Amino acid sequence: MSEVLTPGATGLTQLETIWRHGLPATLDGAVKPAIEAAAALVAKAAAGDEAVYGVNTGFGKLASVKIPARDVAALQRNLILSHCCGVGEPLDIPTTRLMMVLKLLSLGRGASGVVWPTVALIEGMLDKGVTPVVPDQGSVGASGDLAPLAHMAAAMIGEGEAWHDGERLPGQEALRRAGLEPIVLGPKEGLALINGTQFSTACALVGLWGAWRNAQACIVTAAMSTDAIMGSTAPLVDEIHTLRGHRGQIAVARMQSALMTGSEIRESHREGDTRVQDPYCIRCQAQVSGAAIDLLRRAGEVLEVEANAVTDNPLVLVKEGRIVSGGNFHAEPVGFAADQIALAIAEIGAIAQRRVALMVDPTLSFDLPPFLTPEPGLNSGLMIAEVTTAALMSENKHMANPCTTDSTPTSANQEDHVSMAAHAARRLARMNANLNTILGVEAICAAQGIEFRAPLKTSAPLQAAVARLRNDIPAIEADRYLAPDLQSGVRLIGSGALAEAAGLTMTLDMGDI
């Protein structure tokens, strides 16, 4: 069943559903007249004598070169082929398809000047599973994501490469096998396809959704860790957080408190506990994770706007009867959003890693055995698993440095300030993978710690989380080859299975508060 897109009003939930499940997508048919009106205005300009950027002129620094009417079609084809300069590994298929969906949304606003068959081909490629091979390096996020989007457009004109039925094929052959025909680009169409922020925005959205799952998981693993070390729940008292007022902090404290309600471990030391305060990684979880959640939500708001935006150039203003050159292709909003997501990922991992370190350290973990093994000395337990989390935490800190401040001039100084949004967004996948591991190791450590508290039991939600983990990862009673266990932990976090087992749900629209 194809998802129907409403340009200008498509939400993140629908986009995530399309991405996760590989669904095809089509534009709401009501937008066709606006698209055709813009195309008619472009055709009129192409037939005229006046120089109109992107229609009958060169591009970038060559914008002053007038192109004869007989060469307009060749101009667009040459644009695509010359801009296919991407390098690196192919972008994964789900994210590439999301990029195509975002391009549909942009074209669907009726300000790009493409003809309807161009839109229909993108819809057909999504429906028939023809996915362009798009190298993931080469964009500086300036005049849009030129190189990545050129590789998408190349497949549409029967050039480049595309995936179909699991095979990597020449673009024309992939279209043929799917029963589709390549298009011949009309005036401005090549520029409409490659100008835009859809590569950066797609990568940033995937990074956002991965970070959001990690944020949910960290609430569960933090609660498990708190019980494992017999930490105090006094810092979760609701009034503490409402007095400060940050919505993410309030939500995290409430969710963690609910997760721990009914824990026999907690009740066993509610009275007579000699510790005055727990370390910050326990006491300040709501403040840190809550701030990260607020940051992710703000980034989500920006990316939802951008997903629905018209970001090519020039823009066709049908009501005014004009084609106007502007700068909507500059991906600064996407770069800023991606930089914020990176900060949230790094900080969630930083505080989670300190909880791992706390649990394996016998001087801090309140009577848990060293490195959470029953026979320390003979066994090293989770000693090096903690070191791995430290390595990944540090790597994420390095990658969290801002990308948007790293502008460099390109295109003979015509594009003299660029956003680096593609860099900012691409790194999020690796950062999320690192955080999956950190939280997976934390869950493994916390489960060990909770089980060392037997016969006392943790709360029902956390018992369910431990049981789900134990389906995949047996208790570590003696040293064994741990790499597969860590990979299982990664899957539990990345899939959302651990949070689901604990009954935790949290939405980007603040509906849980």
CA distance 220 to 223: 5
Apex CA 28: angle with CA 17 and CA 335, to 5°? Answer: 55
CA distance 339 to 426: 11
Find the catalytic residue in 10, 45, 53, 381. Answer: 53
Under 8 Å CB-to-CB from 352, ≥6 apart: which residues? Answer: 218, 221, 222, 281, 389, 435, 438, 439, 442
Could you tell me whether strands 25-27 and 3-5 are parallel, antiparallel, or unpaired per DSSP bridges?
parallel
* Exposure string over 183-215, b if 16+ CB within 10 A, otherwise e: bebbbbbbbbbbbbbbbbbbbbbbbbbbbbbbb
In the residue annotation, 481 being an active-site residue is answered as no
CA distance 499 to 506: 10
Radius of gyration from C-alpha coordinates of the chain: 26
Contact of 145 with 199, CB cutoff 8 Å: yes
Residue 415's φ and ψ, nearest 5 degrees, are -100, 75
Residue 319's φ and ψ, nearest 5 degrees, are -60, -35
Beta sheet of 161-164, edge-to-edge order: 131-132, 161-164, 167-170
Q: Which residues pair with 282 in a beta bridge?
A: none
CA distance 335 to 423: 8
* Whole-number Cα distances in Å, 505 to 294, 296, 475: 16, 16, 27
Contact of 141 with 422, CB cutoff 8 Å: yes
Apex CA 434: angle with CA 430 and CA 438, to 5°? Answer: 165
* Whole-number Cα distances in Å, 218 to 114, 254, 288, 341, 413: 45, 14, 11, 15, 45
Could you tell me whether strands 87-90 and 131-132 are parallel, antiparallel, or unpaired per DSSP bridges?
unpaired
* Distance between first and last Cα of the chain: 33
Can you read off the two tokens belonging to residue 207? 């990074």
Apex CA 164: angle with CA 162 and CA 166, to 5°? Answer: 110
Residue 385's φ and ψ, nearest 5 degrees, are -60, -40
Contact of 35 with 108, CB cutoff 8 Å: yes
Catalytic positions, please?
A: 53
